[in-house]
Structure 1
């Protein structure tokens, strides 16, 4: 939109924010004269050259009617004061309770939710059982959980798997001598004790023969089936806190073997 100063005839560009600040009254930026921009307000300029913009006749003119509505706010609902209860009607609503709809739906949803809770609990127990089975060796060897598991298993009549911990196997005595009946063989006897609080499987016995300089001359690994003649004894394992005498037969490497060592795997 455009408006013209009536004194210096300068035409200015106008916007609705400028016109609304003082209801159309503005100050000319060229001659500093005050004028009403609404008197010469025009939507477009006439062809140049021109002297004055056409004046707007506002006195006595009919008010324009606007029809293109873009928004109408919704009227606020009036707040009504609670009416006092009618007396003498014979009806008492003081004990009447109302249950909201969402509360009823929550109760119905809770009744349908318990099968899912039971299923989740069962799956959680199965997961714990799988983890316990995967870590069964650590649980049986644990000083806190091990005794409790052994008591529980004894009451249920089951057997716990044997857990091996060679660090708790100690050699109490050992001896080596020529085999009395087999020439060229040695007879090694040893006594081992299980200091663990649980039964252990029979270990693999490692016999190492060395010379006077500590150089290894021969080594042999003997499985339980090789030094235990009874298969039942091998299946039961080495009892907790128990001792066992081992008799091993190995080949004699000759006179150079002056030392031997026994280990467990």
Structure 2
């Protein structure tokens, strides 16, 4: 801000602090005259050359200031404020209803797992049944699991498929002779025992006749219904540990047949 001495027309730069010290009355540093600096106070200097700064007319009525920044309280107001009871703080959560976590219905939060457990159990049973069906022959033939499977099937009346293990069929005795009533035929007898721990179906019997050099000159393959007349025994099978005698009628190949062999399928 700038002001001008009315006596020597010198222009000075002033600030708010300088103006506030004597309410705008200052002394000229050039001629020593005292003057009211607010009368010619300007924010900017006019363009040169100039002689005098414009003068401000004195205000008829002092301006009003309304923007109060701070007002210190007197002793009476301070004492009244101390004696006044403080108002209770307003509880903004007074109408809010909160349910504790432990008081909630746990059945609503708990996921329903029993349908998945039932589905997994059913799938497991189906898989176990498929595996048991695929491995039925080894399970029935096994001496440990075979009796368990047989007892379980006996309870539910489910028929077990026959398991064949010709390696467990033991040929105890055999004999061949000329047929007493049929000319040109041989009568072959054999005693077979089932050494397996399970019931076996009657085997397919293979009879081979050979000459003196061991060459097979005749062979006959007999199915169970061809050498068994008992239908019930045919369906019942050969019980574990049971021995039975079998009789076969075959055609006599002549004097060249000096040996015979019996096998099972």
TM-score normalized with structure 1 length: 0.59
State which of 99, 109, 125 in structure 2 corresponds to 1:107.
Answer: 109
Post-superposition CA distance 1:34-88 (Å, at most 9, x none): xxxxxxxxxxxxxxxxxxxxxxxxxxxxxxxxxxxxxxxxxxxxxxxxxxxxxxx
| Aligned 1:239-258 pairs, distance under 5 A | 239-258=239-258
Partner of 1:140: 140
SS in structure 2 at match of 1:189 = strand
CA distance in 2, matches of 1:107, 1:144: 48
Give the CA deviation at 1:106: 8.8
- What is the alpha-carbon distance in structure 1 between the residues aligned to residue 121 and residue 222 of structure 2? 48
Deviation at 1:158, TM superposition (A): 3.4
Deviation of the 1:121 alpha carbon: 1.0
Alpha-carbon distance between aligned partners in 2 of 1:246 and 1:130, rounded to the nearest angstrom: 38
Runs of 4+ in 1 over 4 A off after TM superposition: 103-106
Structure 1 residue 98: Cα displacement: 3.2
Matched residue pairs, number?
167
Partner of 1:178: 178
Q: What residue is the counterpart of 1:262 in the other structure?
A: 262
Which residue number corresponds to residue 125 of structure 1? 125
Change in CA separation of 1:117 and 1:212 when aligned onto 2, cut-off 3 Å: same
Structure 1 vs Structure 2 CA RMSD: 2.2
Shift of 1:157: 3.4
1:189-200 matched pairs, under 5 angstroms: 189-200=189-200
Q: Secondary structure at the match of 1:253?
A: coil
CA shift for structure 1 position 97 = 5.0
In structure 2, the residue matched to 1:232 is 232
Which residue does the alignment assign to 2:101?
A: 98
Per the TM alignment, residue 231 of structure 1 is displaced from its structure 2 partner at its CA by 1.9
SS at match of 2:155: helix
The CA distance in 1 between the partners of 2:146 and 2:109, in whole Å, is 45
Matched residue of 2:160: which SS? coil
Per-residue deviation, 1:222? 0.3
Larger C-alpha radius of gyration, 1 or 2? 2
SS in 1 for 2:139: helix
Q: For residues 108 and 264 of structure 2, what CA distance do their matches in structure 1 show?
A: 65
Alignment of 1:153-172 (within 5 A): 153-172=153-172
Alpha-carbon offset, residue 118 of structure 1: 0.7
Paired residue secondary structure (1:247):
strand
Provide structure 2 residue ranges, at least 5 long, that are not aligned to the other structure: 1-98
For residues 236 and 220 of structure 2, the distance between their equivalents in structure 1, rounded to whole angstroms, comes to: 24
Q: Does 1:187 align with 2:190?
A: no
CA distance in 2, matches of 1:205, 1:107: 70
The residue matched to 1:159 in structure 2 has which SS?
coil
Normalised to the residue count of structure 2, the TM-score between the two structures is 0.59
5+ long unaligned stretches in structure 1? 1-95
